[in-house]
Amino acid sequence: MADTQSPPPTEEQQKIDGLPLSAVQVIARLYGEEHSFTMKPSEHILYAAIEAGLDAPHSCLSGYCATCRAKLMEGRVRMEINDALTEEEVAQGYILTCQAIPLTERIVVDYDQ
Ligand code: FES
């Protein structure tokens, strides 16, 4: 579930969450295909996905259009800005990948939902 209220995770918090700080494993479902890549824990998921060669949907890159919306199927993230998703969508697990920083060492997102 996305955590939009808490401050950025400290190194100590990331260690508590078991994050190895060097890499996060991401599985991303996009256009019916599953992709796997690793990213730095300080990156936003969308940027890491694009760097990994995925044609991940995006537009504003600022947290207000929801073009980059995906459903978080596994793991936890922190969204820096959310001016697009309703509380209900967040409760259902939707995140803005352009604003989402991983808090766990494994993240599974589904852009197709
Ligand atoms: S690209 Fe607009 S909210 Fe992420």
The Cα 97–Cα 52 span in angstroms is: 14
Ligand 1 centroid to Cα of residue 17, in Å, is 27
Q: What pLDDT is stored for residue 22 in this prediction?
A: 79
| Angstrom distance (rounded) from CA 32 to CA 87 | 27
CATH of the domain at 7: 3.10.20.30
| DSSP-based three-state secondary structure for 37 | strand
Closest CA to 30 of 59, 69, 81: 69
Q: Which residues surround ligand 1 with Cβ inside 6 Å?
A: 58-61, 63-68, 84, 96, 98
The answer to whether 48 touches 39, Cβ cutoff 8 Å, is yes
Q: Would you give per-residue pLDDT tens digits along the chain (113 residues)?
A: 555 545 555 555 555 455 555 799 999 999 999 999 999 999 999 999 999 999 999 999 999 999 999 999 999 999 999 999 999 999 999 999 999 999 999 999 999 99
CA of 84 to the centre of ligand 1 (A): 8
The pLDDT score that the predictor gives to residue 98 is 98
Range of the domain at 65: 2-110
Where do we find the tokens 């996305």? 2
Q: Which two three-digit tokens encode residue 77?
A: 């993230």
Q: Which atom of ligand 1 is nearest to the CA of 46?
A: 4
Handedness of CA 46, 49, 53, 57 (dihedral sign): negative
| Tally of domains in the chain | 1
